[in-house]
Amino acid sequence: MAADDTLIKEILGTFKDFIYRDLFYVVGGVSVLLSGSHAFDLPFKYTGWTGVYMALLGYVVGYSLQEIWSIFGVVTTSYKGPPKCFIRWAAKRFAPLEDWESLPCLRQVDQKALRNCLDKHCSEYHRDRIGRTINLKQLGSSMGSSLLTTTIILIYLIYKHPYDLFYVLPRANTRFVPTNPLRK
- pLDDT surpasses 80 at 144: yes
Helices (H), 46-110: 50-71, 84-94
Residue pair 58/127 in contact (Cβ under 8 Å)? The answer is no
- pLDDT surpasses 80 at 170: no
Question: Against a cut of 0.75, is the pTM above it?
Answer: no
**Chain-centre distance of CA 103, in angstroms?**
34
pLDDT > 70: percent of the chain: 81
Q: Is residue 165 part of a domain?
A: no
For the chain, the average pLDDT equals 79
Q: Is residue 129 part of a domain?
A: yes
Q: Is residue 32 part of a domain?
A: yes
Q: Is residue 168 part of a domain?
A: no
pLDDT at residue 89 in the model: 82
- pLDDT surpasses 70 at 58: yes
Per-residue pLDDT averaged across 27-43, rounded? 86
Per-residue pLDDT averaged across 84-97, rounded? 79
**What is the number of structural domains in the chain?**
1
The count of other CB atoms within 10 Å of the CB of residue 142 is 28
pLDDT > 90: percent of the chain: 10
Which 3 state secondary structure label does DSSP give 100? helix
Positive or negative CA dihedral for 60, 66, 70, 76? negative
Residue 128 and residue 151: Cα distance in Å, rounded?
33
Which residues are within 8 A (CB) of 147 and not within 5 positions of it... i.e. 6 or more apart? Answer: 28, 31
Q: Is residue 84 part of a domain?
A: yes
Q: Is residue 92 part of a domain?
A: yes
Helices (H), the chain: 2-39, 50-71, 84-94, 111-121, 124-160
Residue 6 and residue 55: Cα distance in Å, rounded?
31
DSSP 6: H
